[in-house]
Amino acid sequence: MDAQIYGVHNLLLLAFFTSLLFPLSALPEIPPAKPSTQINSNSVLVALLDSHYTELSELVEKALLLQTLEEAVSNHNITIFAPRNEALERDLDPEFKQFLLEPRNLKSLQNLILFHVIPSRIESQQWPHVKMKPVHHTSLCRDASAEKIFLHRKNGAKVVSMAKVIKSDDIIRPDGVIHGIERLLVPKSVQQDFNARRSLRATAAVIPEGAPEVDPRTHRLKKKPPPLPAGAPPVLPIYDALAPGPSLAPAPAPGPGGPRHHFDGESQVKDFIQTLLHYGGYNEMADILVNLTSLASEMGRLVSEGYVLTVLAPNDEAMAKLTTDQLSEPGAPEQIMYYHLIPEYQTEESMYNSVRRFGKVKYDTLRLPHKVVAEEADGSVKFGQGEGSAYLFDPDIYTDGRISVQGIDGVLFPVEESAAATKAPPVAKIVSKPRRGKLMEIACNMLGAVGQDSRFSTCRY
């Protein structure tokens, strides 16, 4: 039932895009996606294009399938069976590959790729058990409606149709999963097209399956790796790990040994703050994280627990434009900062690649439920919309694999607020001689008014 709906949907989409884009497919550059739909930066599709499945990603782009797949993930979860790179290079019959890349065979290439995608979410724990019958799934390939993909086990190992799964749950995202498979799955229709085009012997694209690996020490079949890949994000979403509600109170002292202290988040945060200070032009940001709020220790704790963060750091010039109105609400500095923290590890390159491919990309922020939109502009990445936008100004100030700091030239506000914010009158100018951060100054004044400033040594100036 579902499958039929998707089938029809794809048929229309493919027909539309094939007719629209086919003449362009001969051009070396694929035009960037129309920014009509927005894709989430933590989408499985973005992850695929950034993954080590580079051969598959390249084919997805060559096949002009981004839009189709974008539509798919906006409607439902998908599971992608991603052939490892070797399966698409060394192990692939060169004639078959050449056939796939000829512009007139675009449909076959699309069918081949969509045959590796099913419109539902199958993680490894949903895989049929050893004694169960294979479970059949309809793929997104429109010309293979009768031909299913079947999931089963062979000698305990997970297998999809004829391909052994070599890395199950390799990439897990909120809208889908990618499993690495040993080789390409070729739908019969594509094989027939290939055979028809060139009256060759049956395609050699399907290579024989290797024997299951036996551990020489135990003489048993090698076990699959544990379900969570190394370095995978913690099971709980980051929002569950965030400290409850922002406040101006200093963070509680960290308890002895959290649940998963694989990483020394505190020293990574210290390190990036030092880097920000040395870099110059980001002193206010550093000051706020360390002195005005407890965000630095909060970030350290999150990183220690295995979360990753990207900090969009507004430079001092941008910070200086903040108005008292924007800062006077209790907890406003935290709220502003939380909107600049993305619970993902993104570098300039990964963000630029995403916006170039998808047009517009939405990033989650720690300020729920607000997202920040990014798009390509002037060869760089632009965050936010209209007047409240900011350009990626100092890329990759700090990147250590878990924390990434990207300098931007504006302070971002969620869309609803930015309208109000732009109307806010400018504040009285700053007079203090040794320039304190303006946020600090205002916050200390506010706290002073309610007699709490003694809590902050830095307010006594």
Q: Which spans of this chain sit near ligand NAG (rule: CB under 6 A)?
A: 76-77, 121, 175, 273, 283, 286-287, 290-291, 458
Residue whose C-alpha is closest to residue 190's, from 93, 255, 325, 260: 93
Q: What is the DSSP letter of 209?
A: P
Give 120 or 350: the residue with its C-beta nearer to ligand NAG: 120
Q: How far is the CB of 77 from ligand NAG (least distance, A)?
A: 4
Q: How far is the CB of 126 from ligand NAG (least distance, A)?
A: 10
Amino acid making up residue 3: A
Helix (H) or strand (E) holding 160, with range, is strand 157-160
> How many residues are present in the chain?
461
Whether residue 412 contacts residue 388, with contact meaning beta carbons closer than 8 Å, is answered with yes
Q: How far is the CB of 169 from ligand NAG (least distance, A)?
A: 13
The residues, any chain, with a CB within 8 Å of residue 398's CB and separated by 6 or more, are: 271, 272, 275, 276, 404, 405
Give 353 or 458: the residue with its C-beta nearer to ligand NAG: 458
- The total of other beta-carbon atoms located within 10 Å of residue 142's CB is 23
Give 42 or 139: the residue with its C-beta nearer to ligand NAG: 42
Q: Which residues on neighbouring strands pair with residue 215, listed in sequence order?
A: 220
Q: How far is the CB of 251 from ligand NAG (least distance, A)?
A: 15
Q: How far is the CB of 421 from ligand NAG (least distance, A)?
A: 25
Give 64 or 72: the residue with its C-beta nearer to ligand NAG: 72
Whether residue 392 contacts residue 380, with contact meaning beta carbons closer than 8 Å, is answered with yes
Q: How far is the CB of 88 from ligand NAG (least distance, A)?
A: 27
DSSP labels for 352-411?
HHHHHHHSEEEEE-SSTT-EEEEEEETTEEEESSGGG-EEEEEEEEEE-SSEEEEEESS-
- Measured CA to CA, the distance from residue 40 to residue 427 in angstroms comes to 36
Give 62 or 121: the residue with its C-beta nearer to ligand NAG: 121
Strands (E) across 162-219 are located at 163-173, 176-181, 214-215
What would the two tokens of residue 267 be?
A: 């020293």
Question: 78-83 and 176-181: which strand pairing?
Answer: parallel
Q: How far is the CB of 290 from ligand NAG (least distance, A)?
A: 4
Give 76 or 435: the residue with its C-beta nearer to ligand NAG: 76
Question: 403-408 and 390-399: which strand pairing?
Answer: antiparallel
Give 66 or 159: the residue with its C-beta nearer to ligand NAG: 66
Q: How far is the CB of 285 from ligand NAG (least distance, A)?
A: 9
With 0-12 / 13-18 / 19 or more C-beta atoms within 10 angstroms meaning exposed / middle / buried, residue 91 is: middle
Q: How far is the CB of 278 from ligand NAG (least distance, A)?
A: 11
Give 77 or 389: the residue with its C-beta nearer to ligand NAG: 77
Question: 360-364 and 371-377: which strand pairing?
Answer: antiparallel
Q: How far is the CB of 437 from ligand NAG (least distance, A)?
A: 7
- Measured CA to CA, the distance from residue 423 to residue 334 in angstroms comes to 21
Amino acid making up residue 45: L
Give 51 or 458: the residue with its C-beta nearer to ligand NAG: 458
Q: What is the DSSP letter of 53?
A: -
Give 286 or 446: the residue with its C-beta nearer to ligand NAG: 286
Residue whose C-alpha is closest to residue 36's, from 66, 14, 56: 66
Give 273 or 299: the residue with its C-beta nearer to ligand NAG: 273
Q: How far is the CB of 229 from ligand NAG (least distance, A)?
A: 18
Whether residue 206 contacts residue 93, with contact meaning beta carbons closer than 8 Å, is answered with no
Give 291 or 406: the residue with its C-beta nearer to ligand NAG: 291
Q: How far is the CB of 143 from ligand NAG (least distance, A)?
A: 25
- Measured CA to CA, the distance from residue 48 to residue 344 in angstroms comes to 15
